[in-house]
Amino acid sequence: MRDYDEAREQLFFGLFKEYFDSEKDAGKQHDPANYSLERMYPLAELAGNPERRLKVIHIAGTKGKGSTSHFISALLEASGKMAGLFTSPHLCTVRERFQVNNLLLPYDVLIRESTEFLKDVKANGLKPSLFELFTVLALKMFASQGVEYAVMETGIGGRLDATNYIPNPVMTVIAPVSFDHVALLGNTIEAIASEKAGIIKSGVPVVISKQPYAAAEKVLLDKAVSVSAPVLRPSDLAETVLFLPERFPFFLRENFCSSLKAVEALGLRPQPKNFKLPQLRARMELIRQHPRMVLLDAAHNGDSMQKLVAGLAEMYPDVNWTVVLGCVKGKDVHGMAQALKALPNATFILTNPQTGKGSALPELETEAKNAGLPILCTIPELKTTSQLPQDVPLLFTGSFFTALIGEELFGGRE
């Protein structure tokens, strides 16, 4: 797999072994009765409060926040600035979470900085979660690397997300808000939007992307008004022709517009000739073209699946996909199955995503059948390429963890 060293990857994660349980228990992390940002402040202080030495751009949203974050980082670099990028989760290597100018930080830096930081954490008796550690570690490494801007993507939600301990970002961005993590964030679009709006800070400009739900947009605007945060709208689509390829998915082009507005609103002028299109892992990512096409996409709710289907029609109108579909328990399986009805001439293989968070395979089988999707078979454990049809285009989607199956089977091998 790309940029992956198994021995050093294991060495890195071995340092954090005792923190894995708290990371997996997402419900506990985001339950207000058990979770707050209070653990972040002594952790950041222990690291020397690196956020104070950085100009932080903070991004939340349901779908599009990852690509928006990557675009912002690339636009900062095209403006002559040094930018750190913190995103999650990772597809292949943990280094995808920690980048400077859209380049993965070396294992040596990650291991050295982590070893030193964890020694202090343990000596002071702190008990953070893995994501909390990663958040402060990212900022600490960015500061030590001489970064000026830190682009920080939230993990889940916004209000209680570890990244939200940063009191004074220079810019916030809210990507499209839709239904996801309803057990943690609420089962109405207003409740979910309220959690995302938690990153909007007093007097700090906020770029609000084009929203699929008017009710969500109202919540975001009301929060911005209540804290006197100037509201900015995405740049015009016409401006993207200077930076992006002619053939480029429309929904990613829209995300780019939000990124461009955020960077230009900081008084920067990214130069198209210096812009390098970042690698967007599992976002309509074509990882193999010969002898057959293999595409990965982390769409995991109804709205993002609709955008994927539209993007496929735009980019690959004549391709008949065999879709390897696996969903995590608790996701909008119904919405995803209904959206996939619009994918012409597709056939489907249902599977379990590669995750410990629980699979929705039984529900997926029911919803796929009710939607009338042409199901070739169900493969509960997809381990080898021999289990799949040969010489057909493959699309792995429904979850980041289903995209991971495609990466492991086909990434890095031709």
Position 1 confidence tier, pLDDT thresholds 50, 70, 90: very low
Q: What share of the chain is helix, strand, coil (3-state, %, to 5)?
A: 45, 15, 40
Mean pLDDT over 71-83 rounds to 98
Mean pLDDT over 402-413 rounds to 87
Kindly state the percentage of the chain with pLDDT values over 90.
85
Residue 100 CA to residue 167 CA, distance in Å, equals 22
Domains of the chain: 6-274 (3.40.1190.10), 285-410 (3.90.190.20)
Residue 269 CA to residue 263 CA, distance in Å, equals 8
Tokens 């402060």 sit on residue? 136
Q: What is the pLDDT of residues 193-212, one digit of tens each?
A: 999 999 999 999 999 999 99
Q: What are phi and psi of 372, to 5 degrees?
A: 75, 25
Q: What are phi and psi of 395, to 5 degrees?
A: -125, 120
Position 228 confidence tier, pLDDT thresholds 50, 70, 90: very high
- pTM for the whole structure: 0.92
Residue 32 CA to residue 192 CA, distance in Å, equals 15
DSSP per residue over 323-345, as a string?
EEE--BTTS-HHHHHHHHTTSTT
Pairing of strands 98-100, 103-104: antiparallel
Pairing of strands 103-104, 231-232: unpaired
pLDDT at 23 over 70: no
Helix (H) and strand (E) counts for the chain?
Answer: 15, 14
- For the chain, the residue count is 414
Kindly state the percentage of the chain with pLDDT values over 70.
93
Q: What average pLDDT does the structure give for the chain?
A: 92
Q: Torsion-angle region of residue 358: left (phi > 0), alpha (psi -120 to 50) or beta?
A: left
Position 310 confidence tier, pLDDT thresholds 50, 70, 90: very high
Q: What is the pLDDT of residues 150-192, one digit of tens each?
A: 999 999 889 999 999 999 999 999 999 987 654 555 569 999 9
Q: Cα angle at 59 between 45 and 2, to 5 degrees?
A: 90
Chain-centre distance for alpha carbon 186: 20
pLDDT at 414: 42
Position 413 confidence tier, pLDDT thresholds 50, 70, 90: very low
Residue 92 has a CB neighbour count (10 Å cut-off) of: 19
Residue 242 CA to residue 244 CA, distance in Å, equals 6
Chain-centre distance for alpha carbon 107: 21
DSSP 294: E
